[in-house]
Amino acid sequence: MFKYCLTLIIAATISLFAVAQSNISDYIANGNQKIKEKDFKGALAEFKNALNVSPNDSLALNGIIRANTLLEDYKEAQRWIAIALEAYPNNPDFLFRRGIIQNLNGYHDKAIEDFESALGQNPNTSLKVQILLNKASAHFKIEQLSESLADYNKVVELDPRNFNAYNFRGLVNFRLGYYIDAVTDYTTAIDLDPTSPLPYYNRGMSLLKLNENQKACADFRKACQMGYMNSCKMVVAECGAR
């Protein structure tokens, strides 16, 4: 009889655990969907529900940090990052999230430290790409152009079809005076996403530096037609009625 009761208790416990895990998965899936729909407050509620069931669930913690960041409530995001890192001190995703907040708050040196710490934890390729993109941005903001270029080069090695890597590496090359390399990067970015006006405008600016005015004006006109007003100003300033 005792063994029978014990078996029932174990079975009930397993069943309750399975239900709880199912609820957590549902809350997290709903939260991620709401982020895709840009319903960040709704996502926040879903991730909080998941944490009410399991306070240290790493996916729920990640979700609530993302939702607060997207809501631009950086103070609350920082609070949750501290909680997450207390539970998972070597988690590269949480170190990465802290770096993002540091970057957004203007503490670019501290952001770079966090990004380097995250990279030191051997993240998967997808996360590594995101860390390197943000690290490159932090370097760029404090005029560490060579370091920024090196990070973008690493992204291209890992993800040869990453639009942002080419678009922003083009900007770094432009600032370094490598105008031919900048044109090459912007051309690749256009091939990857021909609907974005920015690489047309930026390629036009690079072509001007190379005295390729006719080609530059073609790019300015294209970006202007796509609604990018800075490019329309360049059409007026550099291209006249041609």
CATH of the domain at 203: 1.25.40.10
Tell me, yes or no, whether 198 lies in a domain. yes
Sign of the C-alpha dihedral computed for residues 202, 208, 211 and 215 taken in this order: positive
Query: Which letter, b or e, does each residue of 136-148 get, where b requires 16 or more Cβ atoms within 10 Å of its Cβ?
Result: bbbbbeeebbebb
The sign of the CA dihedral 169, 176, 146, 114 is negative
Please give the pLDDT value at position 94.
97
Q: Which domain holds residue 239?
A: 164-242
What single-letter amino acid sits at 226?
M
Look at residue 43 and tell me if it is in a domain.
Answer: no
Query: One digit per residue, pLDDT tens: the chain, 242 residues?
Result: 545 444 444 444 444 434 445 688 899 999 999 999 999 999 999 999 999 999 999 999 999 999 999 999 999 999 999 999 999 999 999 999 999 999 999 999 999 999 999 999 999 999 999 999 999 999 999 999 999 999 999 999 999 999 999 999 999 999 999 999 999 999 999 999 999 999 999 999 999 999 999 999 999 999 999 999 999 999 999 997 54
Q: How far is CA 161 from CA 79, 180, 200, 220, 236, in A?
A: 35, 20, 18, 24, 34
Could you give the number of structural domains in the chain?
Answer: 1
Q: Is there a domain that residue 231 lies in?
A: yes
Of 144, 114, 145, nearest in space to 130 by CA? 114
Q: In this structure, is residue 220 part of a structural domain?
A: yes
Is 241 within a domain? yes
DSSP-derived letter for residue 238 is I
SS3 37: coil
User: Distance of alpha carbon 196 from its chain centroid, rounded?
Assistant: 18
Question: Could you tell me if residue 116 is inside a domain?
Answer: no
Q: Which tokens go with 162?
A: 């990453």
Give CA–CA dist 62/219, Å, rounded. Answer: 41
Q: What's the CA gap between 44 and 141, in Å, rounded? A: 30
Encoded tokens for 140: 């760029």
Cβ(143)–Cβ(171) below 8 Å:
no
Of 107, 112, 71, the closest CA to residue 95 belongs to 112
81 domain-assigned: no
Task: Kindly state whether residue 210 falls inside one of the protein's structural domains.
Answer: yes
